[in-house]
Amino acid sequence: MPLVVVRLQPLVSLGLSSLGLSSGLLLLGGTHQAVVAAREPDIRVLLQESEQISLRADADRPFRLTGPDLGRIDLTRLQIELSSGGLSLVMEEAGAPADRPMRRRLPTSAQLRLETDDPRGLWLGKRRYGGSLRLLVHKGRIAVVNHLGIEDYLPSVVGSEMPQEWPMAALQAQAVAARTYALRQRGRAGLFDVQATVASQVYRGLESQTPRTLEAVQSTRSLVLVHAGQLINAVFHSSSGGATEASGEVWRSQLPYLVSVPDHDQQSPVHRWETRFDADQLRRAFRETGGVERLEVLESSTTGRVRALRVRGPVGVLRISGSELRQRLGLKSTMVEFNWLAAGEGEGEPSPSTPPSQLSSRWVGFLVDPDGDGISEQLSPPPPLPQQLRLRRRPQPVLEVRGRGYGHGVGMSQWGARALAEQGAEFRQILQHYYQGVEIRPFRPSYDPAVARLPQLEPAWRG
């Protein structure tokens, strides 16, 4: 049966108001049908959690504050502090003298909403954000959650995760991957969908939005990555070191689209790297064993990443995963080799590796759930160093670590995407190289597998 497109009348009259849509299309194909969203989905981004929040308008355009016992107030500045079991507000009203602020006290159950019509956004600390902000107390701190449309959120993510001067095809690939990840996370937590940090994907507000990142988002509007009718877990990383990793080699399950593929990240500044650790640094990193005398790799992936190893020290033996080794030593990746140098061999002081400032890897320092649930756990700090070992001072060899790549190595390599784009690949080719067997389709809100397979290439929502 061919695809039939039927224009709907107002949805309330058709009994579809429960879907939250004001207008739309009904798509009929075979036995399947679905409603296409008439407006883009919203995303809730956790920006900050602290005991004190400072917000202000940009120049002379006030913002609106709405809350219990406040009604609606136009403000130019707002300071909120959590103290003595309540919220203390200091507000500068629009048109009122700045030296005569209004003060209010609210219970911790109060929820506040801030909105502005200013395209320059609202200042939170040193960054500006569009959309609206919601403030509420969460786990003993004031949480600031940014509510905005997914297409307004993405230009900042692309500019935060990838240099905006990179080829457009690479930026477009980043936009589709970021959109897929964010939409897959919607509704999974009560307060927010994603965080603004590497715990999800980096979002720095309007400062990271540029004409080129806007173009990357607008030219891929509503497109997402789908496998077997479901949004994929679109993880990405900075640089793989020559070959991406299969998800099952790093995490607990092997996803069919996250398999190892050749990478093209040779231009990456972290394609090859090395770092050194002296005895004191190793004792601090491995307090349970009193330092490191020997490292034995027990399991490696097919690409050479360390999966498990045994650490032998003066006072004990410890088995850890490659991810834990990476966190303890601050390594860029787990694709590493070890070499012992005599004390004093090699110039310069040993120092732990530091991540490159140009790119951010989504999962630095965390163990990740490859099924898309975000952080599965954070590693606990090791126990205190035994007193007798603090008193020992004797020359010991230096551990040299030579590695490749930066990040977990699963999914799209950002430096590889850049190289493919420079070779003439367009964003669909880049994405289908790193995410094997996926389809690139407009997003559908029902998550119905049949909907994801519908052969419609127009955006799922309009601007």
Q: What sign has the CA pseudo-torsion 119, 120, 125, 127?
A: positive
Quick check: 143 and 49 in contact, CB under 8 A? yes
Question: What pLDDT, on the 0 to 100 scale, is given for residue 371?
Answer: 43
Among 185, 175, 223, 176, CA closest to 45: 185
Quick check: 154 and 40 in contact, CB under 8 A? no
Residue 421 φ then ψ, to 5°: -65, -40
Among 274, 238, 266, CA closest to 358: 238
Among 142, 17, 122, 127, CA closest to 65: 122
From the CA atom positions of the chain, what is the Rg in Å?
25
CA–CA dist 34, 446 (Å, integer): 8
Question: What pLDDT, on the 0 to 100 scale, is given for residue 20?
Answer: 31
CA–CA dist 286, 139 (Å, integer): 32
Classify residue 44 by burial, with Cβ atoms within 10 Å: 0-12, 13-18, 19+. Answer: buried
Question: What pLDDT, on the 0 to 100 scale, is given for residue 362?
Answer: 35
pTM score of the predicted model = 0.77
CA–CA dist 234, 174 (Å, integer): 10
DSSP 104: E
Q: Which helix (H) or strand (E) holds 215?
A: helix 211-218
Among 403, 395, 384, 261, CA closest to 330: 403
Quick check: 292 and 314 in contact, CB under 8 A? no
Classify residue 446 by burial, with Cβ atoms within 10 Å: 0-12, 13-18, 19+. Answer: middle
Tokens 């990476």 locate to: 326
Tokens 């589709």 locate to: 176
User: Which domains does the chain show, CATH number per domain?
Assistant: 4-36 (no CATH), 42-150 (2.60.200), 151-265+410-452 (no CATH), 273-403 (no CATH)
- The one-letter code for the residue type at 352 is P
Task: Give how far the C-alpha of residue 361 lies from the chain's centroid of Cα atoms, to the nearest Å.
Answer: 8
Question: What pLDDT, on the 0 to 100 scale, is given for residue 448?
Answer: 35
Residue 240 φ then ψ, to 5°: -95, -20
For the chain, 463 residues long, give each residue's pLDDT as a single digit of tens.
444 333 333 333 333 232 233 333 333 233 333 344 457 899 999 999 999 999 999 877 899 999 988 889 999 999 999 988 899 999 999 888 878 899 999 999 999 999 999 999 999 999 999 999 999 999 899 999 999 999 999 999 999 999 999 999 999 999 999 999 999 998 877 899 999 999 999 999 999 999 999 999 999 999 999 999 899 999 999 999 999 999 999 888 899 999 999 999 999 999 999 999 999 999 999 999 999 999 999 999 999 999 999 999 999 999 999 999 999 999 999 999 999 998 766 554 444 443 333 343 333 333 334 344 433 334 445 555 554 444 455 567 899 999 999 999 999 999 999 999 999 999 999 999 999 999 999 998 644 333 334 444 455 555 4
